[in-house]
Structure 1
C-alpha cells in the first residue's frame, strides 16, 4: 500500500469526521481502512510524517517533492533551472507560511541529496554551432510541441507566442530611396537621434488573434500627457523601468495582463505559451503563476527564434519597418525630437498596419506550428555534414584550428545603447595595422582572430619573381570619420576569421567599454549593424568572402 494512498484515505476520514459530528473515530477508521490511533492523532492536530519538518531542514518532504517535480517538469519543457531559481522556489513556499528564507548553500545541498536531480554545466550555443546541430534540435522541438499539444488538448485558439522587441525612439532603419540621377555617394536620412529605449511585449495566437501590447519606457513615473495627448486604446499597458528593459517584476506583470486578456476567450482548459529563454520569462514567480492558472510554457531552443518564433517570422520585422516610416514622416513635418508622446502615436499607427490577421497566421505557418509542419523550418536549415577523423590520424599531434569558409560575422553590441557595430580601435605605437585590427577585435569581443586572405583588387605591387596571389590580406576598405572633438580619423578595415564555436574570453575589454560579442549570419549582418558606414564595409567583406 503506497504512502500517498494511505494519506489520501486519512484525509477523507478526517473530512468525514468534520462533516458528521456523530461519526466516531473507530467507525471512520473502519470505513476508510486506516489505523484508529493514527486517525485519532491526526484529528488532534499531530502532523503526519510527510508534513513533519526536522529541525535541521527548512522544508517538509512534501514541499521538497513539489520543488523536485517542478524542476523536472520545467526541464522537460526546455527550461533547465539554475540554482538561483531553485532557491527562489524554496523561498516562495516558505513565504506562504511566513518562514525565514533558505541560506546561500541550500540550493546546492538540496540538489546533491535529490537522486533525481544533478547539476550540469549550461553550454551556450553560438549561431554557427547551432546551425550545424539544428536538424536534431529542431526535430526535438517539434516533437515536444506535438506531445504537449496532445497531452493537454491544446486548441489552435489557445496556442500563444509572446516575446519582446526594442525600439530606439528616434532611430530609423536603412532602406532604398529615390534621389536625383546626378547625386554622388549614398544618401543619408536625417534621424531625430533620440536613443531612448522602449520595449514592446506582444502575444499572438495561431488563429491570428492578439492581446493589447505592453510597453515599457525609460523612467520612474508616468506622465499625464502620455494618456492625454496620445490616442492609445484604453486596454494598452504602459509601464516604466530604469532603462526601458523588462525585468522579473515586469515579466510577471505582463503575464497577469496576458491572463486577463485571454482567460475569457480560452477554448480549452489549458493555454500554451511559447517563449524564449529570457530570465524574466521563467522566474519562479512567473512559472508559479502559470501553474496556478493552467498556462503551459514551452521554451524554444537557443538561437533559433528567427526560425521558430511566429512573432519573429511574421510580425516584428514589418512592425519596425512601418515604425521607421512613421518617424520619417514626422521628420518631413519638421519634428526633430521624438518624445514618448510622438513614439506612442507612431508605434500605434505602425502596429495597426502590421499586426494583421494574415501576418500573424503567416508567422505561425512559417514557424511550422499552425498548420503543424516541421518541414517548413527544417528545409531552411544550412545542414553541414562533418567527415569523421580516420582512425590512423587519432594519434597525430593536435593541430591548431584552421579557417573554413565563414558564414557568420562577429559584431560588438553596446550594453548601454543596444547598438551593433564592427570591432575597431586606435593603433598603438609600434603596431602595424593588421596587428591593431586583431588586437582591437580581441579586446572588444574576447575572440582571437587571424587575417583572412580574400580575392580583392589592390594597387600594391607584386614582389619580383613571385606570381600575383589570387587572395591577399590588404585592407578591404578605408573610411574617414570626424569624432566629437573634430578630429579626423582614418580607418583601415580588414577581413579576419575566427572559430565561432569557442567561447569568448572574459575580461579583455578596456575601462569604459561595455560590449557583448554577437555572431550573426551573413544574411542578417548588414541589416543588424547600426551605422551606415559599417553596413558599407560589411557588405564588401561578405561579398569578398563569398567570392573566395
Structure 2
C-alpha cells in the first residue's frame, strides 16, 4: 500500500526533476506509458431481470492475452497503439483494421518483456514523440522489471529521455493512464465486443481484436482524458496535494516500529547529468570479489539486459587454523547452486590451499 511519506517523497523528487530540466510548463514533453491486457472473453453488459432469473450472456472463448502498450502526454497527445500478440510469427492478418501508425509484435505469452518494451521505445515511441529537437522528455512508468533493464536505461540517457519510476503499489494513485483512460477503455471495449457479436454473430479472436482495440484506444485516450489523468495524478500541473489523503490512510495500519521511510524510494529519476544508476548500491565494496573469477559480477551476467540476482556463498573451511572466509559465485564459479542451512560449503580452491 502507498504510505503518505512515500507519496510525499515522490512528489518532492518529481518537482526537483521538473525544475532541473525546465519541464514545469512543457506538457508536450511529459509522457506516461503503461500496458493494458486484452482478452476475447469480454464482460457483457448488465441485464435487468427478476431476482430468480439469470439471463445468459454470449462471449467468445478464452485465448491467451493480447497486450496493448499505450502512451500519452500531459498535453493530450496519444501515441499510436502497440500490440503484443501470443505466438511465434507476426502475420499481416493480425494487424488488419489497425489505425494509422499502430504496429505490433509477438511473444510466447502475449505479455511484454524487456526486449519488447525496448523495441517499443526505440522503434515506436521515439518516432511519434512530436517536436522535441534537443529537449529532454520525461517518461513516467511503473517499476516492472521489463521497464528498467540496464540496456534501456543507457539508451534513454543517450536519447535525452528521463525515465521516472513510480513508487511500488501506487499506480492506482499516480499513473495517469490508470486514473483516467484505462477504466473507460475497458468499458468501451466490452461494449464494442458485445455489439460486434450481437450485430454480426462473429466471435472475438486475435484476428479482429486489433481493429476493435485501435478504435477503442483513440476514444479512451482522447485529449480530455489524458489531460484529466495527468491532473489527477498531480504531474501536470504539478500539485502535491492531488492524491486524496484518505486514500493513504489504509497503509498506516501496516506501519510498524521497524519500518524505515529511508528504504523506500518515492521516485527514481534516471538522468544524464546526474549519472544516477538505479542498479548501483553505494554500500557495495568492489574489493569483495569472487575468489574463483576475481570479479564482482560473473562474466555470464555482466552483459545482461535485465536484472539478474547472483547468489554468493562464503567458505566454511579453515586454513592454518584461521577461517578461510573466501566468497564464491554460486552456480557460475562452482557446481553448487544452493547452500542450505547447516550445509558446510568449501570453495573450489580450498583443498589446494589447505
- Larger-Rg structure: 1
Determine if contact 1:160/1:204 at 8 Å carries over to the other structure: yes
Looking at structure 1, the residues matched to 241 and 115 of structure 2 have their Cα atoms a distance apart, in angstroms, of: 38
Higher helix share: 1
Q: Deviations over 1:52-76 (max 9, x none)?
A: xxxxxxxxxxxxxxxxxxxxxxxxx
SS in 2 for 1:296: strand
Q: Look up the match of 1:372.
A: 238
Looking at structure 2, the residues matched to 242 and 378 of structure 1 have their Cα atoms a distance apart, in angstroms, of: 40
2:168 to 280, 283, 302: 302
Determine if contact 2:44/2:191 at 8 Å carries over to the other structure: no
Q: Deviations over 1:486-515 (max 9, x none)?
A: xxxxxxxxxxxxxxxxxxxxxxxxxxxxxx
Report the CA distance between 1:183 and its aligned residue: 6.5
Report the CA distance between 1:354 and its aligned residue: 1.6
Looking at structure 2, the residues matched to 261 and 352 of structure 1 have their Cα atoms a distance apart, in angstroms, of: 15
SS in 1 for 2:207: helix
Report the CA distance between 1:296 and its aligned residue: 0.5
Report the CA distance between 1:379 and its aligned residue: 2.8
Question: TM-score if structure 2 supplies the norm length?
Answer: 0.67
Q: Look up the match of 1:45.
A: none
Q: Look up the match of 1:279.
A: 145
Looking at structure 2, the residues matched to 242 and 387 of structure 1 have their Cα atoms a distance apart, in angstroms, of: 38
Q: Look up the match of 1:330.
A: 196
Distance of aligned partners of 1:386 and 1:252 in 2 relative to their CA distance in 1, 3 Å threshold: closer
2:132 to 254, 266, 289: 266
SS in 2 for 1:377: coil
Looking at structure 1, the residues matched to 58 and 171 of structure 2 have their Cα atoms a distance apart, in angstroms, of: 32
Q: Look up the match of 2:321.
A: none
Whether 1:236 and 2:125 are equivalent positions in the alignment is: no
Distance of aligned partners of 1:334 and 1:307 in 2 relative to their CA distance in 1, 3 Å threshold: same
SS in 1 for 2:70: strand
RMSD of aligned alpha carbons: 2.4
Looking at structure 2, the residues matched to 358 and 254 of structure 1 have their Cα atoms a distance apart, in angstroms, of: 25
Determine if contact 1:315/1:359 at 8 Å carries over to the other structure: yes
Q: Which aligned pairs between 1:210-221 and structure 2 lie closer than 5 A?
A: 210-221=78-89
Q: Look up the match of 1:208.
A: 76
Question: TM-score if structure 1 supplies the norm length?
Answer: 0.44
Distance of aligned partners of 1:143 and 1:388 in 2 relative to their CA distance in 1, 3 Å threshold: closer
Distance of aligned partners of 1:387 and 1:187 in 2 relative to their CA distance in 1, 3 Å threshold: closer
Higher relative contact order (CA 8 A, sep 6+): 2
Q: Look up the match of 1:149.
A: 18
Distance of aligned partners of 1:286 and 1:388 in 2 relative to their CA distance in 1, 3 Å threshold: closer
Report the CA distance between 1:223 and its aligned residue: 1.7
Distance of aligned partners of 1:377 and 1:324 in 2 relative to their CA distance in 1, 3 Å threshold: same
Looking at structure 1, the residues matched to 41 and 186 of structure 2 have their Cα atoms a distance apart, in angstroms, of: 10
1:255 to 121, 125, 134: 121
Distance of aligned partners of 1:349 and 1:301 in 2 relative to their CA distance in 1, 3 Å threshold: same
Q: Any stretches of 5+ residues in structure 1 without a counterpart? A: 1-129, 390-548
Q: Which aligned pairs between 1:484-503 and structure 2 lie closer than 5 A?
A: none
Looking at structure 1, the residues matched to 152 and 59 of structure 2 have their Cα atoms a distance apart, in angstroms, of: 38
Q: Look up the match of 1:138.
A: 7
SS in 1 for 2:47: coil
Q: Which aligned pairs between 1:163-178 and structure 2 lie closer than 5 A?
A: 163-168=34-39, 170-173=40-43, 175-178=45-48
Looking at structure 2, the residues matched to 287 and 252 of structure 1 have their Cα atoms a distance apart, in angstroms, of: 10
Q: Deviations over 1:145-187 (max 9, x none)?
A: 100011111222111100111111x2223643334xx562343
Report the CA distance between 1:292 and its aligned residue: 0.4
SS in 1 for 2:237: coil
SS in 2 for 1:341: coil
SS in 1 for 2:35: strand
Distance of aligned partners of 1:137 and 1:382 in 2 relative to their CA distance in 1, 3 Å threshold: closer
Looking at structure 2, the residues matched to 194 and 326 of structure 1 have their Cα atoms a distance apart, in angstroms, of: 17
Q: Deviations over 1:225-283 (max 9, x none)?
A: 234xx321341111111110111111110111111211x42276210010011111110
Q: Look up the match of 1:344.
A: 210
Q: Look up the match of 2:111.
A: 245
SS in 2 for 1:375: coil
Looking at structure 2, the residues matched to 373 and 177 of structure 1 have their Cα atoms a distance apart, in angstroms, of: 41
Determine if contact 1:135/1:381 at 8 Å carries over to the other structure: no
Determine if contact 1:364/1:370 at 8 Å carries over to the other structure: yes
